[in-house]
């Protein structure tokens, strides 16, 4: 027989080579994961075939984490400017609504026609829509 020297009986004093252990496969976590995957595969619970409720809960949890991360990061200059403009538009809208509620219908149409301004420009105290203008 022709083969490696360590297989023949003539090298009795030499240490025979052994296959090196794989640290990943020997770890407890790997063994537990492998056992769990085998168990779920046997039961038909494959990872890509999750129940609908579990999928929905995971997506909801992912969205919540993403929103938390976005809320914690500082606003960019553009986002800050957009937020300011949005607040200004809300104030203009609230002012118009309160103006329409406080004065009769005939004056409210006069109010809107006499004071014309852009919703993006801030309203000064003299430009109040509820004032008579004269």
Distance CA 99, CA 114 (A): 13
Distance CA 51, CA 30 (A): 25
Q: How does the average pLDDT of the chain come out, rounded? A: 76
Distance CA 116, CA 62 (A): 46
Of 28-32, 75-79, 95-99, 112-116, minimum mean pLDDT range? 112-116
Per-domain boundaries in the chain: 24-66, 82-111
Dihedral sign for Cα 102, 107, 113, 115, please. negative
* Model pLDDT, residue 134: 42
Residues 53-92 have pLDDT tens digits of 888 889 999 999 999 998 888 888 999 999 999 999 999 9
> Residue 133 — very low, low, confident or very high, per pLDDT cuts 50/70/90?
very low
pTM of the model: 0.31
């Amino acid at each position: 027989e022709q083969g490696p020297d360590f297989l023949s009986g003539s090298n009795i004093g030499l240490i025979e080579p052994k296959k090196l252990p794989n640290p990943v496969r020997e770890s407890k976590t790997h063994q537990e994961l492998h056992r769990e995957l085998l168990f779920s595969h046997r039961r038909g619970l494959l990872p890509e075939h999750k129940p609908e409720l579990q999928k929905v809960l995971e997506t909801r949890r992912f969205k919540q984490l993403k929103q938390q991360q976005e809320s914690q990061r500082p606003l960019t200059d553009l986002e800050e400017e957009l937020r300011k403009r949005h607040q200004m538009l809300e104030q203009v809208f609230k002012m118009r609504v309160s103006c329409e509620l406080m004065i009769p219908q005939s004056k409210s149409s006069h109010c809107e026609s006499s004071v014309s301004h852009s919703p993006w420009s801030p309203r000064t105290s003299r430009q109040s829509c509820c004032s008579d203008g004269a």
